[in-house]
Structure 1
Amino acid sequence: MMLLLYVIVLLVSFYLLAVICNRYFIFSLDRIAIKLNMNSDMAGATLMAIGSSAPELFISFIALYKPGSENMGAGTIVGSALFNILVIIGASAMVRKAFIAWQPVIRDVIFYSLSIILLIYSFWDGKIILLESVAFLALYGIYIIAVLQWRKILPYKDDEKDLAEELKEGKNKKTEQKNIFGKFLNGIDLLLDFIFPKSEYYWTTFFISIFFITGLSWVLVESAVGISVILHVPAVIIGLTVLAAGTSIPDLISSLIVARQGRGGMAISNAIGSNIFDILIGLGLPWLVVTIGGKIIPVATENLSSSIILLFATVAAVLGFLIARKWHLNKFSGLSLISIYIAYLLWNILQVF
């Protein structure tokens, strides 16, 4: 009975995440981007990355105040970063082929690499102090400035579908369902329309979306863990799949939506930009809250160090892959990246058995 309940909750959570990301989060994000005169990659690297990465920030704050879980936030963020780079970019490429402007990718890779270097330096002595926490936030501030000014440094043309043109199509049309399950989904749609404000209140819609995305991500992960425990799935598999990828589901859904709309560059900027946010803000902000009072945060480096090095190797491989493909992404590219992630999972599982 509990298994069935967990499955139902899991499926409903997936559905709600997809609907909220598609109908409210992306829509409000586009309206804000137009208002702020931001192009696709700028919106993907900032607004979209920040909004869809809220679950990681939430988990990091919880980890700091949960006894014995001081490294849970760091572990979750390092684990989901690999998923973001390989699976999100790979899945986006499989949805629709695209030519990617190299200039914003180089920008994001540079700052992502700097984020990893700062993370390695902070973990080196096994503790986090106030100055290191401030450095994380300062680097993210510099990244935001770079995003806003990058076209002046390396001019490029945004060939992706214009955001204003996308908005002319309106929100995704809802189709009326006539079967029992369909009527249940229609009921959920009506409830969401009641909760979320009208389209002109896009800032309010944006923040309400982030709130629901965070809550639903937590419910989704807890449901998946419950199913795994009932089915006696080994803990290592739960950690590598459910916990590592679970909080990145909003990033995946959001990236697939914009990739399907022909905005592959925005999807990539979201994937890498989310990783930058997760490291610099997802870790830096909770660490600052604790260290500003004079406390020192201990961090275990045994398992995390190898994962951090792997992140470096992965982003270098993806960049090399894009250069080799002359900045084109297609189904073959996507399948190759996802295959690397699957191979990584299998290798880790075989290490245990």
Structure 2
Amino acid sequence: MSVVCDDYLVPTVDAICDYFRIPEDVAGATLVAFACNGPELLTNVCGIFVTKTSVGMGTVVGSAIFNVLVITGACPMVSPLGKLRVCKRRFLRDVLFSAISIVMLWWALPVVDLFKASALFGMSAVYALVVAKSDAWLGPAGQETSALENALLDSGASSESEGCKPETCKPIVGAPFEGDKPLAGAPFAGDGAGQEAPGFAAARLVSALSDIASRPIDFVLALTVPDLKAYNVSVPRMLVAFFSSMAWLSGTAYVVCLGSDAINRHWGVPQAFLGLTLVAVGTSWPNLMASVVTARAGRGAIAVSNALGSNVQNVFLVLAGPIWVSVLLNGDYVADGADILASVLWMGITLAFVAAAVAFEGFRLTSMAGWSFMVLYAAYLVQATLLA
């Protein structure tokens, strides 16, 4: 699902936005947000309408916790200087909306009626409007934090750059991860050339193995989905690329739901637990790998910002949208599994922990904070396993 989303669907939506001259900030908060969250969205749709389970809801909630703790924690850990400055304005905005989404989700569950579903789904439009108009209302917030600005942080200087740039989607979706090659023009970690940040070698090995395993998938997709990066863009080609990408996403989401259903039947593992852990990590793993590359190049602040921003639309759009349709068609939606409610509580705990850690360091993320996020995620996995 992530390969289809990152390599085909997101570039297709980008091309559509460019072709029809949709403003970047509006596109990023609407169409591109939809495309970037495609795996979670289609898994939720299949879980609600096909297998009638909570695997989709578990995936969205589990992915949100993974994004906040693991992706946010990994960025400073592999950053060349071991610390990042985050965009203060965007960070505060997304923390506020994330807190609202968690409170509303807790309020709406476990029985979601039309009023609750409409309130949740309607907030996606409110958030998109705030994202699209924040620069117009408050003025530009500056440019992305550079490696030089991070160096100023390392030397103790006070940089006021907030690292703000119009957001598009989840952390650096589709960003290249090519073994030992950094992004173009990016500095290597450490003091000397060729040195690696701690923990990067293991991530590079995992990515290389994943790349080898995905070669057959890449071959099949290249035969069936037009690559808009390699051809002249036209409306028919964009339509074919969009609908073929959505067809592949739908098919793979269906397989994921069937697989989790089979595991549930044969081994008795709860569907919600599978969504919260295995499926959530699987859908978010490529974003972690891409964020590691970006952070290693000294540009991890944008990955941190997008990890938080994507979680807001995961709740308001990806989760609430299909539930709203289900309520319209079938009446009240009932979420099964007490572990879902426990994980929503964990969403609040993790958000508060990350927000406090960032604010305490003066809107910086340090490698020490990153390690503490990893420990907290391990505690969450233990708790989810015990509840299962």
Match for residue 196 of structure 1 among 221, 226, 231: 226
> Contact (CA 8 Å) 2:43, 2:257: kept in 1 or not?
no
Match for residue 107 of structure 2 among 104, 115, 121: 121
- Aligned partner of 2:88 in structure 1 is 102
Q: CA deviation at 1:272?
A: 1.9
Q: CA deviation at 1:147?
A: 0.4
Structure 2 CA distance for aligned equivalents of residues 65 and 274 of structure 1:
24
Q: CA deviation at 1:247?
A: 2.6
Partner amino acid, structure 2, of 1:158: Q
- Aligned partner of 1:6 in structure 2 is none
Q: CA deviation at 1:191?
A: 5.9
Tell me, yes or no, if structure 1 residue 65 matches structure 2 residue 49.
Answer: yes
- Aligned partner of 2:307 in structure 1 is 271
- Aligned partner of 1:341 in structure 2 is 377
The runs of 5 or more residues in structure 1 that have no matched partner are 1-12, 164-170, 176-181
> Contact (CA 8 Å) 2:51, 2:258: kept in 1 or not?
no
Partner amino acid, structure 1, of 2:378: I
Change (3 A) 1:201 1:50: same
What whole-Å deviation, never above 9, does each CA across 1:268-306 have from its counterpart, x for those lacking one? 233222222221122222122222236222234733322
Partner amino acid, structure 2, of 1:333: A
Partner amino acid, structure 1, of 2:278: V
Change (3 A) 1:332 1:64: same
Partner amino acid, structure 2, of 1:136: L
Structure 2 CA distance for aligned equivalents of residues 79 and 157 of structure 1:
32
Tell me, yes or no, if structure 1 residue 159 matches structure 2 residue 191.
Answer: no
> Contact (CA 8 Å) 1:113, 1:312: kept in 2 or not?
yes
Change (3 A) 1:248 1:225: farther
Match for residue 281 of structure 1 among 300, 317, 325: 317
- Aligned partner of 1:50 in structure 2 is 34
Match for residue 129 of structure 2 among 145, 150, 165: 145
- Aligned partner of 1:252 in structure 2 is 288
Structure 1 CA distance for aligned equivalents of residues 365 and 108 of structure 2:
35
What whole-Å deviation, never above 9, does each CA across 1:241-283 have from its counterpart, x for those lacking one? 3133223234434544544554433312332222222211222
Tell me, yes or no, if structure 1 residue 84 matches structure 2 residue 70.
Answer: no
Partner amino acid, structure 1, of 2:280: A
SS of the residue corresponding to residue 248 of structure 1 reads helix
Structure 2 CA distance for aligned equivalents of residues 127 and 30 of structure 1:
37
RMSD over aligned Cα, in angstroms? Answer: 4.3
Q: CA deviation at 1:319?
A: 0.8
Partner amino acid, structure 1, of 2:142: K
Change (3 A) 1:147 1:257: farther
Partner amino acid, structure 2, of 1:267: A
Q: CA deviation at 1:336?
A: 2.3
Structure 2 CA distance for aligned equivalents of residues 173 and 119 of structure 1:
35
> Contact (CA 8 Å) 1:45, 1:274: kept in 2 or not?
no
Structure 1 CA distance for aligned equivalents of residues 306 and 136 of structure 2:
21
- Aligned partner of 2:189 in structure 1 is none
Instruction: Name the % identity.
Output: 28
SS of the residue corresponding to residue 196 of structure 1 reads coil
Q: Give the TM-score normalised by the residue count of structure 2.
A: 0.65
- Aligned partner of 1:293 in structure 2 is 329
Task: Tell which deviates more after alignment, 312-321 or 75-84.
Answer: 75-84
Partner amino acid, structure 1, of 2:116: E
> Contact (CA 8 Å) 1:22, 1:172: kept in 2 or not?
no
SS of the residue corresponding to residue 293 of structure 1 reads helix
Q: Which has the higher helix share?
A: 1
Q: Give the TM-score normalised by the residue count of structure 1.
A: 0.70
Equivalenced residue count is 318
Structure 2 CA distance for aligned equivalents of residues 348 and 294 of structure 1:
30
What whole-Å deviation, never above 9, does each CA across 1:188-231 have from its counterpart, x for those lacking one? 7666555432425396667766665665577679889999999x
Q: CA deviation at 1:32?
A: 7.2
Change (3 A) 1:229 1:283: closer
Q: CA deviation at 1:148?
A: 1.0
Change (3 A) 1:227 1:300: closer
Q: CA deviation at 1:63?
A: 1.9
The runs of 5 or more residues in structure 2 that have no matched partner are 147-164, 167-174, 180-210
Structure 2 CA distance for aligned equivalents of residues 253 and 153 of structure 1:
34
Change (3 A) 1:139 1:233: closer
Task: Tell which deviates more after alignment, 274-283 or 152-161.
Answer: 152-161
Q: CA deviation at 1:341?
A: 0.6
Q: CA deviation at 1:113?
A: 1.2
